[in-house]
Amino acid sequence: KTAMQIVEIMKVMEARHPVVMATRVSAEKSAEIQAALPQATYFEMARICAIQPSVPLAIRPGKLSILTAGTADLPVAEEAAVTAELCGFQVTRLWDVGVAGIHRLLSNRHVIDQSDVLIVAAGMEGALPSVVAGLADCPVVAVPTSVGYGASFNGLAPLLTMLYSCATGIG
């Protein structure tokens, strides 16, 4: 969509909903959107342009944690985190806790144990969601990313790893 198409959609939705989001927005489009809608906020890492209510939404129950295998997974994970926060959820972020440095994940075991839902983003071989699901007793949402090099096949390898996982509670 063009910036002006997004502006028109956001104007219509703002009259009907307390939160309006446009995802996968570039910084350039965001500047155009904010020029037309000064109340819009741009979340650069998440690539989200949003209109938020003047009074924050009530905090929703439950503990949501979002984990990434590496720093290259951050844009995808931040998109999920900002979306959840805009919807009223409190989010705990654990970045760069992949299996290549499993000690970073294990030293944050308390976060996994206290979470009601875990969202786990991973590229490369996509192993982190399976490891996390093996440690967790709550649902794990596995999110493959297209980052990586070698034989990651633009995200196909992590997707297949996640689909073939034998860990329970993973989706």
On the question of pLDDT at 151 being above 70, the answer is no
Q: Can you give the pLDDT at residue 56?
A: 80
Among residues 168, 139, 142, the alpha carbon closest in space to that of 155 is found at: 142
Which tens digits make up the pLDDT trace of 83-121?
999 999 999 999 999 888 899 999 999 999 999 999 999
Binning pLDDT at 50, 70 and 90, where does residue 131 land?
Answer: very high
Task: Give the global pTM.
Answer: 0.88
- Rounded CA gap, 15 and 156, in Å? 40
- The mean per-residue pLDDT over the stretch 18-23 comes to 95
Binning pLDDT at 50, 70 and 90, where does residue 32 land?
Answer: very high
Which residues on neighbouring strands pair with residue 66, listed in sequence order?
93, 119
Looking at the fold, whether 92 and 139 belong to one and the same domain comes out as yes
Q: Can you give the pLDDT at residue 148?
A: 63
Domain count, the chain: 2
Q: What is the mean pLDDT of the chain?
A: 90
Looking at the fold, whether 110 and 158 belong to one and the same domain comes out as yes
Looking at the fold, whether 87 and 143 belong to one and the same domain comes out as yes
Looking at the fold, whether 75 and 154 belong to one and the same domain comes out as yes
Looking at the fold, whether 47 and 103 belong to one and the same domain comes out as no
Looking at the fold, whether 39 and 72 belong to one and the same domain comes out as no
Q: Can you give the pLDDT at residue 25?
A: 97
* 171 in any annotated domain: no
Q: Can you give the pLDDT at residue 145?
A: 85
Domain hosting 146: range is 64-164
Q: Quick check: helix, strand or coil at residue 81?
A: helix
Looking at the fold, whether 46 and 69 belong to one and the same domain comes out as no
Q: Quick check: helix, strand or coil at residue 12?
A: helix
> How many of the other CB atoms lie within 10 Å of CB of 170?
20
Looking up residue 107, the CATH number of its domain turns out to be 3.40.50.1970
